[in-house]
Amino acid sequence: MPRLSVVVPYYNVERYFDACLASIQGQTLGDLEVICVDDGSMDASAVIAKDYASRDPRFRVVVQENQGLGPARNTGVTHASGHYLAFADSDDIVPPRAYELLVGSLERSGSDIASGNVQRLTSEGLVQSWAHRNAFRKTQVGTHITRNVHLLFDRSVWNKVFRRSFWDELGMEFPARLYEDMPVTVPAHVRARAVDVLSEVVYIWRLREGSITERRFRAENVTDLVISVAETARFLEEHAPGLRRVYERDTLHNDLRVAVEALAAGVEPDLLLDAACSYLDTVKRRSYLELPAIRRLQLQLMHRRLVTELAEAVRFERESMDEARLRRGLLSRRKWYAEYPFRRGYGIPRWVFDVSRELTMVGRLEGWEWRAGRLHGEGGVRLPGVMVGAAPSCAISLWLRERASGTVLELPVERYDLGFGFVCDPGTLPVRASKWEVWVRLTVDGIVREARLRGNTPALGPGETDDGMWIQPLVDDKGFAVLTVKRPRAAVTGCEASEGRLRILGWHAEQESAAGVTLVMGVLDGPERSYPVTTAPAREDRREFAVDVPVEDLRPEEETAVWNMYLSGMADGRPLRMPVALHELPEWELDGWEMQMARTSRGNMALRVQRSEDDH
């Protein structure tokens, strides 16, 4: 009997399936069996699965007619014989030590479930999964969802190992619909005697357009989501009522938001409204009050089956909410109410429109650029219901705050009618690796608000100090403006195109060098390609390099593609991303394709390729 059974259903995933099975085959925990469940797959996935089964006796293939992911997992469980049970989705990747860590923890602790951290695989590499961030900040052995409420959001099944006796004791099965994880994992967390939470990453979740988790706005998909939400809520009400409020707040803000947007987009409403209204019938007013007023309004309209009005409320949020007037309460002067649509004549209670807790300022970065070695930026602020530009008592100040130490550097500010400008001199920043947040303070009519600047402007080229430190202005993954100060380990300094090839020029630090350096390029969900790098002798602790890439290799399968790249074969064995030293990014047209050098959100080199309009 194997220690661990891993159930891997598959359906038309030939592009990713080999990488998934290879990651499981390479686990440091060798005493396992892999149950590959063919759910009626019609592509070459079955060939891949059978190839693994023919070469590795730990792999078995079970075939069934297409029934969906939930029933396929259930089929796999019936064929599993291990002491422990795990699941993997066929387009994802399991890190090498994942099952050793999870099973080892269960064998030491005696807990019923071991669950670990998750990263998402995106076009720019691996990033922390936001859904798993809080629950897995630190390792906790023998904890429980009632003591770590963040486990309410640990709703995926594939980052866990279950004790098989516990699984059978509960009689757990996946429902025959989408969003099948939640009705299994949340009850499992509640009914477990103890759970081990591991901060180590045990699962890599691929971001893939068209997958179940990304096809959010199809009516049947959203209906399945809401049904799973409601089913889980009923379980919590009966078995863990103390968790119901946190669960309601999260599902109203996130999952029901998907239903709102789907209805506003015009999906077939009947079954979705039935499911949503059935859930909203059980939601208490206190949970509504923890939401923004515009979200309360949209949910109230959905609960009343007013689909046309709901679409208008969603449109209002996107286009006109900044213009909504505020009115002070009559009985309580501390209360403020928004003049949102449908405030009158629809029977919607007044508390729905209460925005007193929402008078939060938003600071926007409209743009920035380097001029004469200094960083110049422009932005604006918004406070709901307040015309900032027209207020004579309005005052605005800006500063940089170092994330690690809290050090503050004031920035000179120039006021405009509808915004402000600021200047940052790189010479004022300390000469050390650091990250600086950009903050703004608004004082108007006795109200004082502070916020970090947000923006969607692309990363700029770097500024450089006299001692070789780079100052990189960028907008981080959360949308906040940041200045990073660092000494670069590599950089792209040029890009030339001619005679059917693209030549990329740059340098890397001498201490990074090793034999056989290559440039690796790849698109999201696509294979990577490697090209040899020609390096020059070291000069001033740097080695200049050049690499030639055939244009024909850059042609995408689709109309457009973004190629990300890094240097491989460096001394530390890790991929070395290359920021772009240029301020003006070149572009070319070659062999019917338009190409442009680009920067990722972190300032690193990328290449955007699309078919020329003349070739359409």
Q: Which two tokens stand for residue 458?
A: 């692309």
Residue 211 counted as domain residue: no
Same domain, 123 and 257: no
Bridge-based pairing of strands 447-454 and 362-371 is parallel
Same domain, 497 and 603: yes
Closest CA to 299 of 236, 344, 265, 254: 254
Q: First vs last Cα of the chain: how many Å apart? A: 59
Q: How many CB atoms lie within 10 A of CB 537?
A: 7
Per-residue pLDDT, averaged over 367-389, amounts to 86
pLDDT at position 215 is 58
pLDDT at position 210 is 46
On the question of pLDDT at 538 being above 90, the answer is no
Residue 570 counted as domain residue: yes
**Domain encompassing residue 146:** 4-206
Which of the listed residues 305, 327, 358 is the one where a domain comes to its end?
358
Per-residue pLDDT, averaged over 231-258, amounts to 95
Same domain, 264 and 180: no
Q: Are 172 and 184 in contact (CB under 8 A)?
A: yes
Which of the listed residues 327, 358, 389 is the one where a domain comes to its end?
358
For residues 220 and 398, the model is more confident at 398
Residue 411 counted as domain residue: yes
pLDDT at position 417 is 75
Same domain, 43 and 177: yes
Residue 212 counted as domain residue: no
pLDDT at position 392 is 64
pLDDT digits (tens, 9 = 90+) for 52-96: 999 999 999 999 999 999 999 999 999 999 999 999 999 999 999
- Hey, which residues does 399 pair with through a beta bridge? 410, 439
Q: Which of 50-64, 459-473, 484-498, 544-558 has the highest mean pLDDT?
A: 50-64
Q: Helices 307-319 and 293-303, interaxial angle, to 10°?
A: 160
pLDDT digits (tens, 9 = 90+) for 286-337: 999 999 999 999 999 999 999 999 999 999 999 988 778 877 776 665 688 8
pLDDT at position 512 is 63
pLDDT at position 332 is 64
Same domain, 119 and 86: yes
pLDDT band at 211 (very low <50, low <70, confident <90, very high): very low
Q: pLDDT above 70 covers what percent of the chain?
A: 94
pLDDT at position 610 is 87
- Indicate the average pLDDT of the chain: 91
pLDDT digits (tens, 9 = 90+) for 492-502: 999 998 888 89
- CA 149 to CA 147: how far, in whole Å? 6
- Hey, which residues does 522 pair with through a beta bridge? 528, 564
pLDDT at position 212 is 42
Give me the sign of the Cα torsion angle 587, 591, 593, 599. negative
pLDDT at position 436 is 96
Residue 368 counted as domain residue: yes
Same domain, 542 and 610: yes
Residue 213 counted as domain residue: no
Q: Which two tokens stand for residue 495?
A: 């890009």
pLDDT at position 514 is 60
pLDDT band at 444 (very low <50, low <70, confident <90, very high): confident
pLDDT digits (tens, 9 = 90+) for 404-443: 999 999 999 998 877 899 999 988 888 888 999 999 999 8
Contacts 24+ apart (CB under 8 A), 332-341: 336/385, 338/293, 338/294, 338/384, 338/385, 340/293, 340/294, 340/297, 340/313, 340/316, 341/297, 341/309, 341/312, 341/313, 341/316
Closest CA to 599 of 488, 460, 479, 495: 460
pLDDT at position 615 is 56
Cβ burial of 48 (10 Å; 0-12, 13-18, 19+) is buried
- CA 116 to CA 578: how far, in whole Å? 31
CATH number at residue 511: 2.60.40.10
Same domain, 418 and 509: no
Residues in Cβ contact with 196 at an 8 Å cutoff, skipping those fewer than 6 apart: 102, 105, 106, 109, 111, 113, 114, 115, 139, 140, 141, 142, 143
Number of domains in the chain: 4
Which of the listed residues 461, 486, 511 is the one where a domain comes to its end?
486
On the question of pLDDT at 616 being above 60, the answer is no
Same domain, 472 and 402: yes
CATH number at residue 417: 2.60.40
Residue 343 counted as domain residue: yes
pLDDT digits (tens, 9 = 90+) for 567-594: 998 888 889 999 999 989 999 887 778 8
Residues in Cβ contact with 274 at an 8 Å cutoff, skipping those fewer than 6 apart: none
- Single-letter amino acid, residue 93: I
DSSP one-letter string for 447-460: EEEEEEEE--PPPP
Tokens 């108007």 map to which residue?
Answer: 444
Same domain, 283 and 425: no
On the question of pLDDT at 214 being above 90, the answer is no
Same domain, 149 and 15: yes
- CA 163 to CA 175: how far, in whole Å? 20
Same domain, 137 and 108: yes
Same domain, 66 and 134: yes
pLDDT at position 449 is 86
